[in-house]
A and B are shown apart, each in its own frame.
Chain A
């Protein structure tokens, strides 16, 4: 059976118009993201029913060494109607189009939530020594229709990437979000744990001031970010990356990327970036100084971002990835504990999926990726 949908390349303005017509898509699916990821070739594609654009995706092509063949990567996308009828109808023409562009395989991350755990549940689970992974904890909400997609994808030949062991695969499968819809600032504050509330109050009392910055403030952010990288043992991105992100995202919408700075008595103590697409706001990068931790700049800056997200009409404040582990002995558990204090919820996405188009090249690629470990 041939698909009733056609997939073809669309222009950046067409893509942006479509993004604007949606309540929200991942910021990794905005056309601007292709500019940020300039080491990959980007392409906007659209799904057409007749002449009507009904779905879109940003595809990033990663070239195989020495070959004119690519892995087509659609991070946190595509933005299609995942529950609208036959999945093959959507995915088959996409695969054909990407293959014609030289793709040997496709990787995507359906933006579909399958399970949710609220913070009370997670707190109880962290306190329980037997439960070491979110998967072991009874979810507060399971979406059966979303879970069924897993079977549908398998039937269509897609393979789920193993997301176990933390952040090794592309985008995180488990994320932490604070729902904002129909909640007042007081509601959100009341949902936080005592420590968070106390720290927010403390920062205000000590005179921590949170302001938003402009592009010339990026070097100041980057200085604190580099300090954080040394402390937390991760490889920092260069300043140019953030400047490119600033230019690209804010060219699309003037307040898509906002820089936050928390000062205490003139010293920059924390700095973060927030990205917003439609109703979804993400805390994207965060940094804090080792000095003056006691003034709680991090809590103050988060609270300001949450309030601004609410004021902009966002329904989700997304603190992004957590690992599946809730084992207090695991170094990643501190991250989830910090996030759980906000009273939000852990969400599990459908994960990332691969469709090999050329078996030999795909096999070579996955073996190479595994060897990089």
Chain B
């Protein structure tokens, strides 16, 4: 039984190379589930791309990254003194966002390499610009590898990025390396042109690894199928089926990241009325599944199980054979595949 990611390796790698070549200084971000590919696979790809450093999300991800990648590894989550799984390594670069943290790290691991992060309109982590002087004062022997900002994804980030670049120049932080995220190629080009003394280094995850979705397909194996008559009751919940058709048991359940949203009831009378008028299965309280069969996204017969899903297929549709695969739409950052096949 399999729920797998198939990658057109040549096409996918062509995209990776194109973006890497057109984005000097790129730092591939490899975090979480590795965007569906798995972090180790991406680390190996990053090495093949010839980049000198990668970024991971958390300290828990560091040991694997150090093993899978020979260059520098930076951690996006700020270092905290209470973090239980902090790792120290010559190839590791920590992110710092509080004066107290700088002092604490400088006291215990004075030779660490660090990045200072500014607090942007994201309001997640980092220093207020007026704290930068105090931050510099606390540095001691820590080695500053750069200044980082994490911008929102709204797309109009140039002004904020430039304001931080200017703030960096007017601050006492002694670095010209400027790590940014979520800037478009045009915005990157503009900021490079306006700030020629800065070494702008974009940290890119999604756009790199999932930049060419056409090279990726997710296939789920049909594990079983049963012919159904209208009114027949099936599944854990013994719901009655609204029409004649087939019940398909397909690989892929909650453990793969399928159906993380609970099947939703119709919101209000109007919405319900519309559903009824359309005669869709939503009117009966069914939810749309991410499985596409015979050209259409089909409805769940009941909420997905842990490793498989039950999908209702009306009699009018062509039925796949057991062992056939069907296409699935997934959110790659929350999906877990049984296999990643590069072909």
Contacts and interface: CB of A to CB of B under 8 A. Distances in A.
Interface of A: 115, 121, 124-125, 128, 130-131, 136-142
A138 B170 CA distance: 7
B89 interface: no
Contacts of A137: 129, 167, 170
Given A130-B165, A130-B166, A142-B134, 9 more contacts: A125-B166, A136-B129, A136-B167, A137-B129, A137-B170, A138-B133, A138-B172, A142-B130, A142-B133
B162 interface: yes
B8 interface: no
Contacts of A141: 133
A128 B133 contact: no
Nearest to A137: B170
A290 B28 CA distance: 62
Nearest to A141: B133
Interface residues of B, number: 15
B133 A139 contact: yes
Interface of B: 129-134, 162-163, 165-167, 169-172
A136 B134 contact: no
A124 B173 CA distance: 14
Contacts of B163: 130-131, 136
Contacts of A125: 166, 170
A138 B134 contact: no
A125 B163 CA distance: 11
A84 to B, nearest CB: 23
Contact of B129 (A128, A130, A138): A138
Contacts of A115: 130
Contacts of A128: 166, 169-170
8 contacts: A125-B170, A130-B163, A131-B166, A136-B166, A138-B129, A138-B132, A138-B170, A138-B171
A131 B166 CA distance: 7
A340 B172 CA distance: 18
A139 B130 contact: yes
Given A125-B170, A128-B170, A142 B162 contact: no
B167 A124 contact: no
Contacts of B171: 121, 138
Contacts of B132: 138
Contacts of B167: 131, 136-138
Given A130-B163, A136-B163, A124 B169 contact: yes
A141 B129 CA distance: 11
Nearest to B135: A138
A115 B134 CA distance: 12
Contacts of A142: 130-131, 133-134
